[in-house]
Amino acid sequence: MIRTVLPSIVAGMLIVAPGLRARTPDPQPSSRFLTLWSMYRHGDGDAAVDAFSKWKPRDVAVEALLPPDQSDPWSKAALVLLHTEAAMRNNSFARWNDKLPGSINDGGWGLANIFEVHSHQASLIVRDLTSLAKRSRDDRLRAFVRQWYIVAMSYCLRWRLQYAMEDLWDLADHDFGDDVEVRLLMGAIAESRASHGIRASPKGVGVTCLGIGNRNGPHGCVAFSPPSRGPGNGQEALFEYRHALEQDPTLDEAHLRLGRMLHLVGQNVEARVELTRALESDVPGHRSFVTYLAALFLGEIEEESGEMPAAIAHYREGVNAFPLGHMGHLMLGQALVRSGDTDGWQELQRMFAGESAASPAAVDPWALYPYAQYWQLVPRLLDMRREVRR
């Protein structure tokens, strides 16, 4: 038997029939958030991000909501990106919640509420969008989520946010295990974890490095033993790069990174092939990173082989690809001096040309190489913003 029970107001109290509960109103976004939200999607996005980045964590959790009947997945995607940009703007993305107790339990499956509020909220919505994209077979939405993982994990790698990166690694591997760009990301993280900053342990038990000679590059040697915690070793990186190239042979960054890894373990014949493929890249926007580094890495191989004219030619290619890079001028200058050409000293001076307090040095791709796709952080975020503003 179905009955309709009408509540009545008695002495200012809401009386509901036994067995029924008064419905709690759905949480609503605040008016100031809706104003900021409209600005982000249709107006000055940078100003909206800047304003949102200054909100207090409690206000973010309580006010930064979408209407409960919101059915447009791209509104959710836009909220993910607004949270992400705001946290990166104030340098809090994927950092611990400042209200944490002395000991914590990290569940290891996404950015749980032990992380700061923007990261936590973004991670929750991303998981929802991943499921939605899979159910609806929405390739555009899936590409957005994949892009978010690439941006978030590269950021965590750059700023050494180890726990957050490992938790995101599990989700990305689970949901995008066969995606070629994610496989490239995984390889770059594994390479960096295996070879960046390796030192002997306090007890004197070091990691065996199979690199040839002393390097002055982004990675001095490569460890092929499993790390003590988290993803990453040299063999895994080689596997990921090869796997990515099997799916997409045109992936120039994968050729670059595979060639570099092969060089570090002494497989220079194959390394030359891969680096030459990268050097010939014609992908717009990649010249200052892929072409520049491929030329310098090839120059290293030739210099170590005693082929100084070939090394100098490659170093010049690198300088031409990115004239603002200090490392290109340094390597070219050193090679010239070692060859007896005194013009090498002038080359070393050229790397500071045009620099001053008002015009600081450009960020050298050589310094960004160990941090996966962090070198593409800004263009990727801008691409994502264009998607949610469509």
Distance CA 129, CA 94 (A): 19
Instruction: Please provide residue 11's backbone torsions phi and psi, each rounded to the nearest 5 degrees.
Output: 50, 40
DSSP strands (E only) in the chain:
8-10, 13-15
Q: Mention every residue, 6+ apart, whose C-beta is less than 8 A from residue 32.
A: 63
Please give the structure tokens belonging to residue 111.
Answer: 């950015």
Q: What is the mean pLDDT of residues 253-281?
A: 95
Output the DSSP codes for 16-28: --TT--PPPPPP-
Q: What is the DSSP letter of 354?
A: T
Tell me the pLDDT band of 137, cut-offs 50, 70 and 90: very high
Architecture of domain 177-278: Alpha Horseshoe (1.25)
Write out the CATH class of domain 281-323+326-361: mainly alpha
pLDDT for the residue 41: 94
Q: Boundaries of CATH 1.25.40.10 in the chain?
A: 177-278, 281-323+326-361
Q: Can you read off the two tokens belonging to residue 377?
A: 């952080």
Q: What percent of the chain has pLDDT over 70?
A: 79
Mean of the pLDDT values across residues 301-317? Answer: 96
What would the pLDDT profile of 41-83 be if each residue is shown by its tens digit? Answer: 999 999 999 999 999 999 999 999 987 667 789 999 999 999 9
Tell me if the pTM is above 0.75.
yes
The answer to whether 311 touches 341, Cβ cutoff 8 Å, is no
Amino acid at 257: R
Q: In Å, how far are 65, 213, 252, 332, 339 from 311, measured between CA atoms? A: 57, 17, 21, 8, 11
- pLDDT 10s digits, 362-378: 899 999 999 999 999 99
Name the β-bridge partners of 8. 15
The pLDDT confidence band at residue 300, using thresholds 50, 70 and 90, is very high
Cβ atoms < 10 Å from Cβ of 229 = 10
Interatomic CA distance for residues 247 and 170, integer angstroms: 22
In the three-class reduction of DSSP (H, G, I as helix; E, B as strand; rest coil), residue 156 is classed as helix
Answer whether residue 39 shows pLDDT above 90.
yes
| Integer CA distances (angstroms), 286 to 150, 151, 230, in order | 17, 17, 30
Could you report the per-residue pLDDT of 205-234, keeping only the tens digit for each? 333 444 333 344 454 455 444 444 444 568
Mean pLDDT within 309-318: 96
